[in-house]
Amino acid sequence: MVDVLEGQRVLAFDLETTGVSTNNDRIVQVALIGAEADGSTVHYDVLINPQRPIPSGASRVHGIYDSKVRNEPVFKHYASELFDLMDGAVIVGHNARRFDMPLLQNEYYRCGMVPPKPLVVIDTLEAVRRLKIPRPHNLGAQCARHGIDLSNAHDAAADAAACLLLLWRVMRDHPSNFRRSLEEIEDWLINGDIRKDESELGRSLGDLESLDKQGRIKIDEGAYIVAFGRHRGKDLLTIGREDQRYLNWLLSQNGIEDEGARETLKEYISSVRDW
User: Each residue of 165-178: pLDDT tens digit?
Assistant: 999 999 999 999 99
Residue 99 lies in a domain: yes
pLDDT, mean of residues 99-126: 97
- Collect all residues with Cβ–Cβ distance below 8 Å to 59 and sequence separation of at least 6: 65, 66
- Helices 75-86 and 101-110, packing angle to 10 deg: 130
Highest mean pLDDT among 7-16, 149-158, 229-238, 263-272: 7-16
Q: Which of 14-23, 73-82, 196-205, 248-257 has the lowest mean pLDDT?
A: 196-205
Q: Residue 201 pLDDT more than 70?
A: no
49 and 184 in a common domain: yes
72 and 176 in a common domain: yes
pLDDT at 272: 62
Residue 201 lies in a domain: no
Residue 248 lies in a domain: yes
Q: Residue 38 pLDDT more than 60?
A: yes
The answer to whether the CB of 9 falls within 8 A of the CB of 41 is no
β-bridge mates for residue 10, sequence order: 35, 90
SS3 273: coil
Give me the long-range contacts of 230-234 (CB less than 8 A, separation at least 24). Answer: 230/192, 232/191, 232/192, 232/194, 232/195, 232/205, 233/194, 233/195, 233/205
Instruction: Tell which of 156, 191, 226 closes a domain.
Output: 191
Measure the CA–CA gap between 165 and 53, rounded to whole angstroms.
33
Nearest to 130 by CA among 118, 142, 140: 142
Considering only residues 76 and 213, tell me which one the structure prediction assigns the higher pLDDT: 76
Residue 200 lies in a domain: no
Considering only residues 28 and 153, tell me which one the structure prediction assigns the higher pLDDT: 28
The alpha carbon of 265 is separated from its chain's Cα centroid by a whole number of angstroms, namely 30
155 and 98 in a common domain: yes
- Give residue 200's pLDDT band: very low, low, confident or very high (50, 70, 90): very low
The one-letter code for the residue type at 125 is L
SS3 41: strand
Q: Residue 229 pLDDT more than 50?
A: yes
pLDDT, mean of residues 202-215: 78
Considering only residues 125 and 215, tell me which one the structure prediction assigns the higher pLDDT: 125
Q: Residue 274 pLDDT more than 60?
A: no
Output the domain CATH number for residue 79.
3.30.420.10
Residue 202 lies in a domain: no
pLDDT at 27: 98
- Collect all residues with Cβ–Cβ distance below 8 Å to 40 and sequence separation of at least 6: none
Nearest to 125 by CA among 13, 255, 20: 13
pLDDT at 133: 94
Residue 198 lies in a domain: no
pLDDT at 246: 86
174 and 214 in a common domain: no
The answer to whether the CB of 189 falls within 8 A of the CB of 126 is yes
pLDDT at 83: 98
245 and 176 in a common domain: no
Q: Which of 94-98, 126-130, 138-142, 227-231 has the lowest mean pLDDT?
A: 227-231
- Give residue 198's pLDDT band: very low, low, confident or very high (50, 70, 90): very low
**What is the extent of the structural domain holding 260?**
207-271
Domain count along the chain: 2
Instruction: Tell which of 191, 217, 240 closes a domain.
Output: 191
Report the mean per-residue pLDDT for the chain.
90
The one-letter code for the residue type at 209 is E
pLDDT at 253: 85
The one-letter code for the residue type at 141 is A
pLDDT at 207: 74
157 and 238 in a common domain: no
Using CB atoms within 10 Å of the CB of residue 237, give its burial: 0 to 12 exposed, 13 to 18 middle, 19+ buried.
Answer: middle
Q: pLDDT, tens digit, for every residue of 122-152?
A: 999 999 999 999 999 999 999 999 999 998 8
153 and 23 in a common domain: yes
pLDDT at 196: 44
Number of H helices, E strands in the chain: 13, 8
231 and 149 in a common domain: no
Measure the CA–CA gap between 226 and 19, rounded to whole angstroms.
36
239 and 178 in a common domain: no
Residue 95, Ramachandran bin (φ over 0: left; ψ between -120 and 50: alpha; else beta): left
148 and 77 in a common domain: yes
The alpha carbon of 121 is separated from its chain's Cα centroid by a whole number of angstroms, namely 8
Residue 238 lies in a domain: yes
Instruction: Tell which of 162, 191, 220 closes a domain.
Output: 191
Preceding amide of 136 cis, omega within 30: yes
233 and 149 in a common domain: no
Nearest to 97 by CA among 58, 117, 119, 126: 126
The one-letter code for the residue type at 211 is L
182 and 214 in a common domain: no
The one-letter code for the residue type at 137 is H
Residue 96 lies in a domain: yes
The one-letter code for the residue type at 177 is N
